[in-house]
């Protein structure tokens, strides 16, 4: 009787272990899938700051504001996630240029920033082709992946972001596409439909469509999309208060302990 009970318990344990293993394979650990930044280096990125009466209009270009924000966040992001870079719009003026600068690799912050700092915004905005190439680099049909598209405009090279979004979602193993739109409120060359196309690209692939008008909003957008909240964001206020409490108590007690 005891032998039968032992066998039953062993069988139950084996089943539980198997189920846990399967669940572990189905749900990869967060913040570990490879990521590609798809970076807008089209001619408009050389424009004035956030434009339209912003506090730094005429002083700091949009691309420089993005450079500053990425330089702050990338070191922590790339310490736990392999990240690569594709740029679109650099090089020859008014052309539909897409360039793979770096496939995903560990601790890539310095290489990514070196490539971004060397950019000269000049071309058009082939964001659809750039995202499609990023998906291929990530081997999106067989592996989980993450794409963060940064743009200050809309597709100007004949592509359809929404159609691409549908195609990617139909073939991908587990691909997420986020879109960060710079100063797009009330601004479009080609009509509202072009912005809806880009939003569709994100929504079709489980991503966020975030519009930003300040550097703080841009930093928060990168943290939500590219980063891991536990690593790249400040700890919750209660934790910070607990961490600083001993110092305050020590100062209140004149540096003496309560005992």
Residue 227 is predicted with a pLDDT of: 83
Residue 248 is predicted with a pLDDT of: 38
Distance CA 181, CA 194 (A): 12
Inform me whether the pLDDT recorded for 245 exceeds 70: no
Write the CATH number for 233. 3.40.50.410
The answer as to whether 259 is a domain residue is no
Distance CA 108, CA 101 (A): 11
The answer as to whether 213 is a domain residue is yes
- pLDDT, tens digit, 9 for 90 and up, residues 82-129: 999 999 998 778 899 999 999 999 999 999 999 999 999 999 999 999
**pLDDT (mean) for 207-211:** 93
- pLDDT, tens digit, 9 for 90 and up, residues 125-176: 999 999 999 999 999 999 999 999 999 888 999 999 999 999 999 999 899 9
**pLDDT (mean) for 220-234:** 72
Inform me whether the pLDDT recorded for 36 exceeds 90: yes
Q: Share the mean pLDDT of the chain.
A: 78
Inform me whether the pLDDT recorded for 257 exceeds 80: no
User: Which domain does 171 fall in, by range?
Assistant: 31-252
**pLDDT (mean) for 54-65:** 69
The structure's pTM equals 0.75
Residue 214 is predicted with a pLDDT of: 86
Q: Under DSSP, is residue 164 helix (H, G, I), strand (E, B) or coil? A: helix
The answer as to whether 25 is a domain residue is no
Number of other residues whose CB lies within 10 A of the CB of residue 137: 18
DSSP state of 258: -
Inform me whether the pLDDT recorded for 253 exceeds 80: no
Residue 11 is predicted with a pLDDT of: 59
Higher pLDDT, 175 or 61: 175
Distances (CA, A) of 23 to 124, 143, 146, 231: 44, 17, 21, 24
The answer as to whether 10 is a domain residue is no
Distance CA 49, CA 183 (A): 9
The answer as to whether 1 is a domain residue is no
Number of other residues whose CB lies within 10 A of the CB of residue 62: 23
Q: What is the largest CA-CA distance in the chain?
A: 86
DSSP state of 45: G
The answer as to whether 18 is a domain residue is no
Distances (CA, A) of 233 to 49, 56, 237: 25, 26, 11
pLDDT band (50, 70, 90) for residue 242 = very low
Higher pLDDT, 251 or 210: 210
The answer as to whether 92 is a domain residue is yes
Residues 6 or more apart whose CB falls under 8 angstroms from that of 50 comprise: 56, 57, 62, 65, 182, 183, 213, 214
Structural domain total, the chain: 1
């Amino acid at each position: 009787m005891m032998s039968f009970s032992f066998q039953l318990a062993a069988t139950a344990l084996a089943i539980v272990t198997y189920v846990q293993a399967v669940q572990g394979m189905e749900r990869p650990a967060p913040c570990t899938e490879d990521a590609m930044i798809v970076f807008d280096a089209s001619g408009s990125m050389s424009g004035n700051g956030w434009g339209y009466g912003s506090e730094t209009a005429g002083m700091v270009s949009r691309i420089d504001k993005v450079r500053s924000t990425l330089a702050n966040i990338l070191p922590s992001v790339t310490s736990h996630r392999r990240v690569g870079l594709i740029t679109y719009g650099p090089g020859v003026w008014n052309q539909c240029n897409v360039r793979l600068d770096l496939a995903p690799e560990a601790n890539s912050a310095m290489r990514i920033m070196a490539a971004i700092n060397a950019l000269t915004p000049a071309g058009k905005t082939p964001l659809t082709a750039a995202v499609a190439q990023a998906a291929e680099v990530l081997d999106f049909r067989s592996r989980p992946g993450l794409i963060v598209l940064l743009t200050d405009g809309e597709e100007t090279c004949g592509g359809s972001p929404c159609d691409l979004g549908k195609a990617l979602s139909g073939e991908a193993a587990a691909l997420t596409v986020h879109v960060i739109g710079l100063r797009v409120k009330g601004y479009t060359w080609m009509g509202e439909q072009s912005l809806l196309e880009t939003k569709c690209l994100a929504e079709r692939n489980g991503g966020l469509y975030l519009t930003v008008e300040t550097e703080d909003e841009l930093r928060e957008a990168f943290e939500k999309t590219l980063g891991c909240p536990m690593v790249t964001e400040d700890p919750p206020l209660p934790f910070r208060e607990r961490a600083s409490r001993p110092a305050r108590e020590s100062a209140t007690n004149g540096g003496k302990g309560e005992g």
